Amino acid sequence: MTIYDLKVKNTDGSETALADYRGKVLLVVNTATGCGFTPQYEELQELYEADHEKGLEILDFPCNQFMNQAPGTDEEIHDFCTGRFGITFPQFKKLEVLGENADPLFRYLAENTRFEGFGEGPMAEILKKVVSQMDPDYESNGNIKWNFTKFLFDREGNLVRRFEPTCPVAEVRKESEALL
């Protein structure tokens, strides 16, 4: 199974085959509108504007599983993201990334990656405390830990790297640009 075997739901409920993105460098992100990492939308949009014409696609999947940080409807979330951050990359239907109702895409991502660590700094320390209460074994499994976890795929659909929310978008950009 590859990412190209999966389908995702658009905000209107229709499906998009991820095979439609074959030949593109993909950055898959689970997001939220009320998260401490929400300002990353601005950096992600800058990355998209800089590299979309070279073959980069950013696929945005809102998720409300982490402390109710994406409580709105798909339309409200989209209006917030386009109005506040001017995003123009594809945004899909809100989904779950954990548990028995996890979307197949995020199940695939969790099964095929390992947690990369939160690094150092104030946000890393906060996440370590919060996530360890939700999942005491969080360091040894591939489950999605928080909003703005990013997954980078090359043009052939190979999963290249997972980036935790605390990883600077500038680092993501270096790796994505190397694949373009």
| Neighbour-count burial for 135-167, b at 16+ CB within 10 Å, e otherwise | eeebeeeebbbbbbbbbbbbeebebebbbbbbb
Q: Is 35 one of the annotated active-site residues of the chain?
A: yes
What one-character-per-residue DSSP string does 32-66 give?
-SSSTTTTHHHHHHHHHHHHGGGTEEEEEEEB-TT
Catalytic residue among 35, 63, 81, 167: 35
Strands 25-31 and 56-62: parallel
Minimal CA–CA distance to 92: which of 109, 108, 75, 112? 75
What are the phi and psi torsion angles at 9 (to 5°)?
-95, 130
Tell me the backbone φ, ψ of residue 27, rounded to 5 degrees. -120, 110
Active-site residue numbers? 35
